Structure 1
């Protein structure tokens, strides 16, 4: 099958959309298919010929207020690339700007489309206090894009229900995979632990972007717990402000690949703070690393954390509840071990290969080929 993946983000960008596209495309190639990735040009040099599939870059401009993220612009290059590739199905990865243009091109070429919902723009508008009119506009924009697709794939049950409530049609569930070999408890590094917590404290870690909507500021209550050392991995526009607000925390910066896996495995507890995540890939990576997780009871975490078995779900935006849940885990090595083992068992079947097979079922369904059974959203 020949699939054109039109994405709002791609390496060298580091985020959930870019990561998902890379993992899907590489697994499509392994399974004998032919993906083409169409992505915005990056402000940083990137050798796209290192990927085992063609990558077509289109002109882009920096997003106001977040210059490291670039918006792809409409260009005839998109249509030419699709025609040259002989595309059979178009995959819109978290469509907003370039994805909207890609949907228009796909309609003009009479190609079936899958739209993967990943970025919760309406909630971001709320988090950045842009007003109800902006939030309503975001829903209209997303609805217009997604309802042109044969299927919209939602990453979690709560997101699927939210999309249905706001008028998005033909919504199906499709989660995300995780590399359970890379993210593994065996990556634990005692030397790294000693560097982060020389006093032998329980290490509680956050991994992700440092931006307003992630609510990393809630971790001040966790950092104040006796016998706990907070480790923050990631970067973003809020980094300087968070360093000032969390002076006792260890800020480890951006980490990738095996280095990131080593950090996960060297933690004792993983904490997730953002209430707007449609999935929560870092939760899966932490679970694969054998860690108990504390996360807000909203969005993707509701599907990923088994409250009282693999971690704790707490009320979104409540630092006291967050700290109390972390405190229970910090006080009990046996509880951490039991929850961590259960968390890893839960994700062992969620490989990228298995999730790509599910995705191929959706492609087959919208192209009229024999389909692998897929799960319709409740």
Structure 2
């Protein structure tokens, strides 16, 4: 089977109404598949003014805003109109990318028609509850996820370390790696612009510690803030730049009154802002890959990250950055201090990270997903022929 023979119905809980790393990857995948001649139809909640235009044909599914996080929407049902559209499209493979009710109904729809189902796992959903004092329900969430993932023909995970977590959790045993790529035209050391940095009231001679990501608590904002507090107590010269927007921005600004918040940056502006940092601090444990980590590495920055699934697949400890036990504030502060006071070490580890980033080509990475679709279709057809 050729990639051009594929007809993929893709279900997403958030394809383009709020920008995040997962839906950026999905849109890139769809763009690649369309260029290869495949047919793709996307089903997702929509809003009147999305964060960015969708790649491909997007069909709206019924949804409602999450009460405490109204920027996000919950898909409600595979409605009659959506089912009609799905039947007319006639997919030969279903791809689900979030464990919501609509994705579960789509997976059942596929099983009723003997179609294969691929699930891409983009985040460690079960860990989110730790940030809302609900960690006691984590085992229940794992069981709820397992019930869906075990019914899929295969999973794709963004890193080998996360795939191993999924195996240990008994989510599925057919797991391919769908890594992430980086746009080297946007993210490279040559994007560094000291004039722009000065325009943000950041001086040339004091190291800039950067945060990049959506401003929500599950990104480790509390750990980031506590470690920066330690640097201030130790009187370590440093500056902080925060790139991103989100509902926790007010809280984060109150915790980091001396930081420079530059808001959302996209495209070439994002590459410039990242390259103007001197190191990236990414304390999140919810990442399954760490797009921001790879983008910083491509800009020649050392990365200080939590020793978690995504970062462990990218950062080589003491070579291109440091991996620290999640939540270990003093250890984070120690390595941040070391980088702030040692420009040669920053340069050495940043160069190693940039070299590592050269391995990540988007087209080759996305072709692995197309190959997985084709394999699942072949396997399903072979099973159907067995008497």
Q: Which residue of 2 aligns with 1:324?
A: 334
Deviates more, 1:299-308 or 1:116-125: 116-125
Alpha-carbon offset, residue 46 of structure 1: 7.1
d(CA) in 1 for partners of 2:309 and 2:357?
Answer: 18
After superposition, the C-alpha distances for 1:150-170 in whole angstroms (9 at most, x for unaligned) are 101122233222222222122
d(CA) in 2 for partners of 1:32 and 1:340?
Answer: 39
Candidates 233, 238, 242, aligned match of 2:243: 233
Q: Which residue of 1 aligns with 2:23?
A: 18
In structure 2, relative to structure 1, the CA distance for the partners of 1:130 and 1:219 (3 Å cut) is closer
Alpha-carbon offset, residue 233 of structure 1: 1.1
Q: Is the 8 A contact 1:277 1:300 kept in 2?
A: yes
Q: State how 1:80-119 maps to structure 2 within 5 Å.
A: 80-119=84-123
Q: State how 1:291-370 maps to structure 2 within 5 Å.
A: 291-368=301-378
Q: Which residue of 1 aligns with 2:3?
A: none
Q: Which residue of 1 aligns with 2:385?
A: none
In structure 2, relative to structure 1, the CA distance for the partners of 1:226 and 1:245 (3 Å cut) is same
Q: Which residue of 1 aligns with 2:383?
A: none
Q: Is the 8 A contact 1:8 1:17 kept in 2?
A: no
Deviation >6 Å, runs of 4+? none
Alpha-carbon offset, residue 328 of structure 1: 1.5
Q: Which residue of 2 aligns with 1:376?
A: none
Alpha-carbon offset, residue 367 of structure 1: 0.6
- Check if 1:33 corresponds to 2:38: yes
Alpha-carbon offset, residue 26 of structure 1: 0.7
Alpha-carbon offset, residue 281 of structure 1: 1.1
Q: Is the 8 A contact 1:291 1:341 kept in 2?
A: yes
Q: Which residue of 2 aligns with 1:200?
A: 205
d(CA) in 2 for partners of 1:80 and 1:6?
Answer: 15
Q: The residue matched to 1:304 in structure 2 has which SS?
A: coil
| RMSD across aligned positions (CA) | 2.0
TM-score under structure 1 length normalisation: 0.91
Q: Is the 8 A contact 1:292 1:340 kept in 2?
A: yes
Q: The residue matched to 2:33 in structure 1 has which SS?
A: helix
Alpha-carbon offset, residue 27 of structure 1: 1.0
In structure 2, relative to structure 1, the CA distance for the partners of 1:45 and 1:21 (3 Å cut) is closer
Alpha-carbon offset, residue 218 of structure 1: 2.2
In structure 2, relative to structure 1, the CA distance for the partners of 1:47 and 1:269 (3 Å cut) is closer
Q: Is the 8 A contact 1:7 1:95 kept in 2?
A: no
- Check if 1:67 corresponds to 2:70: yes
Alpha-carbon offset, residue 30 of structure 1: 1.8
Q: State how 1:214-293 maps to structure 2 within 5 Å.
A: 214-220=219-225, 221-222=227-228, 224=232, 226-293=236-303
In structure 2, relative to structure 1, the CA distance for the partners of 1:45 and 1:321 (3 Å cut) is closer
Alpha-carbon offset, residue 131 of structure 1: 4.5
d(CA) in 2 for partners of 1:203 and 1:45?
Answer: 32
Q: Which residue of 1 aligns with 2:382?
A: none
Unaligned segments of structure 1, at least 5 residues: 370-378
- Check if 1:166 corresponds to 2:169: yes
Deviates more, 1:304-313 or 1:161-170: 161-170
In structure 2, relative to structure 1, the CA distance for the partners of 1:181 and 1:322 (3 Å cut) is same
In structure 2, relative to structure 1, the CA distance for the partners of 1:43 and 1:98 (3 Å cut) is farther
Alpha-carbon offset, residue 243 of structure 1: 0.8
d(CA) in 2 for partners of 1:20 and 1:122?
Answer: 21
Task: State how many pairs are aligned.
Answer: 367
Q: Which residue of 2 aligns with 1:375?
A: none
In structure 2, relative to structure 1, the CA distance for the partners of 1:258 and 1:77 (3 Å cut) is farther
d(CA) in 2 for partners of 1:145 and 1:356?
Answer: 24
Q: The residue matched to 1:368 in structure 2 has which SS?
A: helix
After superposition, the C-alpha distances for 1:124-148 in whole angstroms (9 at most, x for unaligned) are 122322252x323311221121111
